[in-house]
Amino acid sequence: MTAVVRWTRATAAGMAEALERGETTSVELTRAALRMTEMVDGAVHAYLHVDAEGALAQAAASDARRAAGAPLHALDGVPIAVKDVLTTTGLPTTCGSKILEGWIPPYDATVVARLKAAGLPILGKTNMDEFAMGSSTEHSAYGPTRNPWDLERIPGGSGGGSAAAVASFQAPLALGTDTGGSIRQPGAVTGTVGVKPTYGGVSRYGLVAMANSLDQVGPVTRTVLDAALLHELIGGHDPRDSTSIDQPLPGLVAAARQGAAGDLTGLRVGVIRELQGEGYQAGVLARFQESLELLTKAGAEVVEVSCPSFVHALATYYLVMPCEASSNLAKFDAMRYGLRVLPEGVDSPSAEEVMRATRDAGFGDEVKRRIILGTYALSSGYYDAYYGTAQRVRTLISRDFEAAFGQVDVLVSPTAPTTAFKLGEKLDDPLAMYLNDLATIPANLAGVPGISLPSGLADEDGLPAGFQVLAPAMADDRLYRVGAALEAALEERWGGPLLDKAPALEGGSK
Q: How far is the CB of 163 from ligand GLN (least distance, A)?
A: 12
Q: Is beta strand 410-414 parallel, antiparallel or unpaired with respect to 268-272?
A: parallel
259-288: contacts with ligand GLN (CB under 6 A)? none
Helices (H), 74-159: 110-118
Instruction: Report which DSSP code applies to 348.
Output: S
**Considering beta carbons, is residue 51 or 324 the nearer one to ligand GLN?**
324
* Residues contacting ligand GLN: total by CB under 6 A: 14
Q: How far is the CB of 132 from ligand GLN (least distance, A)?
A: 3
Any contact of residue 181 with ligand GLN (CB under 6 A)? yes
**Considering beta carbons, is residue 235 or 450 the nearer one to ligand GLN?**
450
Active-site residue among 62, 135, 136, 158? 158
Q: Is beta strand 80-83 parallel, antiparallel or unpaired with respect to 122-126?
A: parallel
Q: Is 510 a catalytic site residue?
A: no
3-state secondary structure of 439: coil
**Considering beta carbons, is residue 113 or 133 the nearer one to ligand GLN?**
133
First to last CA, the chain: 10
Q: Cis omega before residue 182 (within 30°)?
A: no
Whether the CB-CB separation of 368 and 416 falls below 8 Å is answered with no
Q: Among 50, 82, 99, 133, which residue interacts with ligand GLN (rule: CB under 6 A)? A: 133
Q: How far is the CB of 343 from ligand GLN (least distance, A)?
A: 30
Instruction: Report which DSSP code applies to 113.
Output: H
Q: Is 182 a catalytic site residue?
A: yes
Q: How far is the CB of 129 from ligand GLN (least distance, A)?
A: 7
Task: For residue 58, report the phi and psi dihedrals to the nearest 5 degrees.
Answer: -65, -35
Any contact of residue 132 with ligand GLN (CB under 6 A)? yes
Angle at which helix 12-20 crosses helix 26-44, to 10 degrees, equals 160
**Considering beta carbons, is residue 37 or 182 the nearer one to ligand GLN?**
182
Q: How far is the CB of 434 from ligand GLN (least distance, A)?
A: 7
Any contact of residue 179 with ligand GLN (CB under 6 A)? yes
Any contact of residue 137 with ligand GLN (CB under 6 A)? no
Question: How many angstroms separate the CA atoms of 165 and 123, rounded?
Answer: 10
**Considering beta carbons, is residue 141 or 484 the nearer one to ligand GLN?**
141
Q: Which stretch binds ligand GLN (CB under 6 A): 7-15, 54-62, 175-183, 462-470?
A: 175-183
Q: Is 83 a catalytic site residue?
A: yes
3-state secondary structure of 480: helix
Q: Which residues contact 354 (CB under 8 A, 6 or more apart)?
A: 334, 340, 341, 342, 343
Catalytic residue positions? Answer: 83, 158, 182
Q: By the criterion CB under 6 A, which residues form the site for ligand GLN?
A: 132-135, 157-158, 178-182, 210, 321, 437
